[in-house]
Amino acid sequence: MGVFLVTFDLADPGRTRPAVLDEIRKSAGWAKLSSSTYAVTTQEFANQLLARVRKQAHPDDTIYVISLRKAWEGHGAQEVSQWLSTHLHY
């Protein structure tokens, strides 16, 4: 199973796109890293995950899907650090 960083920037910062978040959270597993950045596990390839999330986004929104692997370092919520430790591999 792959682990990806999904990060997005809404074209209109005053609006929310709950459908984008819902689509990200449909992944097999996920951890919220920030308000617009998630780590997700999925059987999909990066281009498939991007296509699925983009269907819920505005055409002018920016979305990137980036493969994640160890090593990583971070400071934040313990449950996020634990999720990353469990799911990221070399």
Phi-psi region of 83 (alpha: psi -120 to 50; beta: other; left: phi over 0): alpha
Which parts of the chain sit beneath pLDDT 70? Answer: none
Sheet holding 2-9, edge to edge: 29-34, 37-42, 2-9, 62-67
| Domain CATH for 31 | 3.30.70.240
Residue 12 is predicted with a pLDDT of 82
Number of structural domains, the chain? Answer: 1
pLDDT attached to residue 17: 80
Q: Range of 45's domain?
A: 2-87
pLDDT of residue 41: 97
What percent of the chain has a predicted confidence (pLDDT) above 70?
Answer: 100
pTM, 2 dp? 0.86
